[in-house]
Amino acid sequence: MTVCGCQNEADPRWLFYLPGRGLSNDAPLTIRASTQKASKNASLANESRLILAVKVILSMPGIDPAKVGHFRVVTELAGGIDLSTTQTKTDLQPEWGLSQFNPWDRRITEQNIWPIYRAMRQQGPVVYSEALGGFWCVTRYKEVRTAALDYRNLSSGHVLEIGKQNWTNKPRVRLIETDPPEHTRHRKAMQAPILQKRMGEFSNGIRESVQDLLDHIAQKGEFDIVADLAEPIPQEVLGRILGFDEETRRRNRELVRKFVQADLETSEEAHGAFWEFLIETIEDRLRHPGEDFLSQLCMTEVDGQRFTESELVGMLHGFALAGHHTAIDAISSMLLHVSDDYIKHAYQDDPSIGTQIVEETLRIASPIHLEGRSTTTDIVIGDVNIPAGESVALLYASANHDESQFDNPEEFNPKRTAIQHLAFGYGIHMCIGLHLARLEMNVVLEEMVKRFPNYRVTGTPEGTGMVFGHHMGWESIPAAIA
């Protein structure tokens, strides 16, 4: 394909011609930096050629992608339908969030998401996004907290992941996807082994696991905070609770990773494989019950009835997922922040602030950024009228950076007090594993700083971006013990 281009100095746009196979009749494809839209006189044979053409353009010598940014490509080949949103690798601008916020956009990073959220909060407590068919974003702390309590008017049963209302044909029976009375029945059974009063049963085991991992790290000197420390701990703890042997833990870790990193195109396949694994695990426990909690759950009767297979799979689904991204990302973020000399020295001078460091980590780097709800009736949030049947995103991460709730919210303050963050959600869907997550983080902090008081980050941390449309974390954080 031959590509040539020239800049039109009359206005801020790039004008390109793609002679030959890509574009019929040498018609021009115009990418406007000012309006962020491509002209409709692009006439390509299909969507894949359209995307290819744009990629070729952006790779041309002398082209500055920053002048292009995010743009929409529209053709009339499908009856005027917008075939795709073609994106460059350039950074998202805060204004993007005011009308096009899309939690599945892989360009979202740890660096650009906070200015985007800030712009959305400044716009108002509720912002409408045209992406993914349209949905409402609740941006500020007060409104998010209030909405999270309103399970009657904001249902969790249909739209947990924004843009994925019909994302799978599997039953949606995860605890967080149910409303009362089903939710009440499931939650009571699931929270039994991880109530706050039982955390003492896990403390010694978690500490031993952390110490073993630190022994291995000591032998290497250089390590990865995510892979060598943060990831194994939650999986080990949940494995003990659920009675998973080493091979089952390995399979769970592999399948969960594929599931949470799936996009709109691969989520069905990834979820199907994970679902089959969960069914096999449940069937094995039903045939060969043991002393573990999963076996107890399979035999539990509520109101004279045992849980169905679908209910058991849904509950196991929640447990198996919880140990992968939320706890792992929280531990990783905490150790990344504590590697800062000021924060580390503050903790070494006064270890009693360890709990505040844990809570501040959860506030400033919430692993779960948002959850979806659907309105069951017309509702008003922050003076904004939202009709029944609409999708609503509760932006917990944005709320945790709300200037009206937290002083200097972008600053990690290891001595911040009264941190009423929403990292674990709020209301009836508040995370059932919050006590376990806090225990894990506190033990890791204590043991890590005691064993390696001079540990440091040695390279650029690699973030995950926004994963599965609702959470963010870290792929890799290279570090050394001294």
- DSSP label at 292? S
| Structural domain spans, the chain | 4-67, 144-224+338-480
User: 78 CB contacts (<8 Å, ≥6 apart)?
Assistant: none
Mapping DSSP onto H, E and C, the string for 20-45 reads CCCCHHHCEEEEECCCCEECCCCCCC
Q: pLDDT means per 10 residues in the chain (482 residues)?
A: 33 32 34 30 35 46 43 29 35 94 94 97 98 96 97 79 55 59 67 66 87 96 96 83 84 81 75 87 89 84 80 80 80 98 97 97 96 95 96 97 97 93 91 88 97 97 90 95 94
Per-residue model confidence (pLDDT) at position 184: 67
Q: Looking at this protein, which amino acid is placed at residue 322?
A: A
User: 319 CB contacts (<8 Å, ≥6 apart)?
Assistant: 190, 238, 241, 242
CB 96 within 8 A of CB 116: yes
Per-residue model confidence (pLDDT) at position 31: 35
Per-residue model confidence (pLDDT) at position 396: 98
CA distances from 273 to 30, 94, 220, 257 (A): 43, 37, 35, 12
Identify the CATH class of 144-224+338-480: mainly alpha
Per-residue model confidence (pLDDT) at position 443: 96
Q: Looking at this protein, which amino acid is placed at residue 253?
A: R
Per-residue model confidence (pLDDT) at position 449: 98
Per-residue model confidence (pLDDT) at position 319: 75
User: 265 CB contacts (<8 Å, ≥6 apart)?
Assistant: none
The alpha carbon dihedral of 53, 64, 464, 71 has a sign of negative
- Stated as kind and residue range, the H or E segment containing 8 is strand 4-8
Per-residue model confidence (pLDDT) at position 9: 33
Residue spans of alpha helices (H) in 261-386: 267-287, 293-299, 309-322, 326-338, 341-349, 354-364
- What's the whole-model pTM score? 0.75
Enter the tokens of residue 133.
């068919």
